[in-house]
């Protein structure tokens, strides 16, 4: 090793290269620690986001099921909106009666549909229907909602009441009978002293509004009977057939229950009038069954002591036995003519006095005398239409 002249080893200058460990220690960067917290924060935020999405999805699914329940709605059920009803009270009753499953959701939904006007009255709602449909029904005033009710011809007053209650459950058959017996309504053809409305309610299809009651139905049916009967000329009954309008309605009700084919209607009318004029008991089976158990044996029915037993009591029953149709009223006012005298026994004038079921279609065979009538009965039995 070369040394500078005149120098000693102590004069050797320190050189950083002579101590490389110090060099590296001095010039090197400190070792960095790995930072993990950003990763944890990211995972946490992702987990929160996923949880919120799942919660939102569950809430949304639940909300959709409240607004539109799965499955088909139930059968229509009566619901009454009371005077002073609010959306909150309405929603609570809808939930308690099983129409909806959440009053709070219904209130929330209704408030977002704009101003809603609730009209007191009767409504028909379907349980578990969509809240939109329920709200649509409730927003339609009752006088603009209708239920179609068919009252078939030949029904008694009791049967009409039953049919009304069956078709419009919010209305009571018993209340209809009470309204009919109240004296509040009368037909213009109803005689003094007759209080029964039997046969005075016209059978037809009626649109019963949501704000109607039983008395309103009775009034409409009586008014329609009067209009139809007048149109058919019932006010001229005394001149046409020699009986009062009310008696013609009684005859029409009997025809309604007896006739089955069109051509028999006027013929049965003439039989009734001929027997009345001859003061012969009508002996009409349909009158025996009026307000009686239809399962009673016929002989037992014939023995009953009632004003409607035309086997025992001559003349017409005290009231109609059913609601007559227009066709029956027409027949009662326009009976078939009696046979031409040339077709009568001995060529003398005769009239139709008897009839009996002749075949399975419901057609009857008519006779002017007992012998021919008995022959018709024998034929009917041979054909198997009579026991």
Distance CA(220)–CA(164), nearest Å, equals 13
Per-residue pLDDT tens digits for 318-342: 999 999 999 999 999 999 999 999 8
Mean pLDDT of 29-38: 58
pTM of this structure: 0.72
Whole-number average pLDDT of the chain: 86
Which tokens in the block code for residue 359? 């075949």
What was the pLDDT predicted at 116? 79
Helix, strand, or coil here: 94?
A: helix
Distance CA(181)–CA(35), nearest Å, equals 95
What was the pLDDT predicted at 26? 46
Residues 6+ apart with CB under 8 A from 212: 171
Distance CA(333)–CA(239), nearest Å, equals 10
Among the listed ranges 31-40, 120-129, 280-289, which one has the minimum average pLDDT value? Answer: 31-40
Alpha helices in the chain (DSSP H): 20-27, 37-67, 87-96, 103-111, 131-138, 157-167, 173-181, 214-231, 237-241, 245-258, 264-277, 285-288, 298-302, 326-333, 370-382
Which tokens in the block code for residue 308? 């409607």
CA separation, residue 156 to residues 163, 177, 264, 287, 321 (Å): 10, 11, 22, 12, 7
Q: Which of 28-37, 79-88, 188-197 has the highest mean pLDDT?
A: 188-197
The answer to whether residue 292 scores a pLDDT higher than 80 is yes
Distance CA(103)–CA(100), nearest Å, equals 7
What was the pLDDT predicted at 1? 46
Which of the two residues, 75 and 39, has the higher pLDDT score?
Answer: 75
**φ, ψ dihedrals at 160, nearest 5°:** -65, -45
Q: Say how far residue 234 (Cα) sits from the centre of its chain.
A: 33
Per-residue pLDDT tens digits for 230-269: 999 999 999 999 999 999 999 999 999 999 999 999 999 9
Mean pLDDT of 350-358: 95
- CA dihedral of 345, 348, 352, 356, whole degrees rounded to 10: -10
Per-residue 3-state assignment (H helix, E strand, C coil) for 267-322: HHHHHHHHHHHCCCCCCCHHHHCCCCCCCCCHHHHHCCCCCCCCCCCCCCCCCCCC
Q: How confident is the model at residue 51 (pLDDT cuts 50, 70, 90)?
A: low
Mean pLDDT of 363-376: 95
Say if CB 317 and CB 310 are below 8 A apart.
Answer: yes
């Amino acid at each position: 090793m070369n040394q500078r002249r005149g120098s000693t080893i102590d004069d050797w200058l320190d050189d950083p290269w002579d101590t490389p460990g110090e060099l590296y220690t001095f010039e090197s960067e400190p070792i960095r620690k790995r930072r993990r917290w950003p990763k944890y924060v990211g995972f946490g935020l992702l987990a929160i986001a996923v949880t919120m999405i799942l919660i939102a999805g569950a809430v949304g699914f639940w909300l959709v099921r409240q607004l539109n329940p799965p499955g088909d709605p139930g059968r229509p059920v009566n619901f009454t909106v009371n005077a002073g009803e609010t959306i909150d009270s309405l929603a609570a009753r809808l939930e308690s009666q099983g129409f909806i499953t959440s009053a709070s959701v219904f209130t929330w939904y209704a408030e977002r549909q704009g101003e809603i006007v609730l009209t007191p009255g009767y409504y028909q709602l379907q349980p578990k229907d969509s809240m939109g449909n329920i709200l649509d029904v409730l927003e339609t005033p009752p006088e603009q909602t209708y239920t179609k009710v068919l009252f078939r011809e030949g029904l008694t007053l009791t049967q009409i009441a039953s049919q009304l209650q069956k078709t419009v459950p919010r209305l009571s058959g018993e209340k209809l009978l009470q309204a009919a017996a109240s004296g509040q309504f009368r037909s213009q053809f109803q005689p003094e002293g007759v209080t029964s409305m039997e046969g005075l309610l016209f059978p037809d299809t009626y649109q019963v509004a949501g704000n109607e009651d039983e008395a309103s139905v009775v009034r409409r049916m009586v008014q329609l009977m009067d209009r139809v009967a007048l149109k058919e000329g019932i006010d001229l009954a005394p001149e046409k057939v020699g009986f009062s309008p009310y008696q013609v309605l009684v005859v029409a009700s009997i025809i309604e229950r007896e006739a089955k084919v069109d051509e028999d209607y006027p013929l049965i009318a003439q039989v009734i009038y001929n027997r009345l004029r001859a003061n012969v008991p009508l002996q009409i089976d349909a009158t025996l069954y009026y307000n009686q158990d239809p399962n009673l044996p016929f002989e037992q029915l014939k023995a009953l002591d009632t004003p409607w037993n035309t086997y025992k009591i001559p003349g017409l029953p005290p009231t109609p036995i059913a609601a007559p149709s227009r066709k029956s009223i027409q027949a009662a006012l326009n009976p078939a003519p009696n046979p031409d005298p040339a077709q009568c026994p001995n060529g003398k004038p005769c009239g139709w006095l008897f009839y009996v079921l002749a075949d399975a279609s419901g057609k009857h065979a008519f006779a002017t005398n007992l012998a021919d009538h008995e022959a018709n009965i024998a034929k009917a039995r041979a054909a198997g239409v009579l026991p």
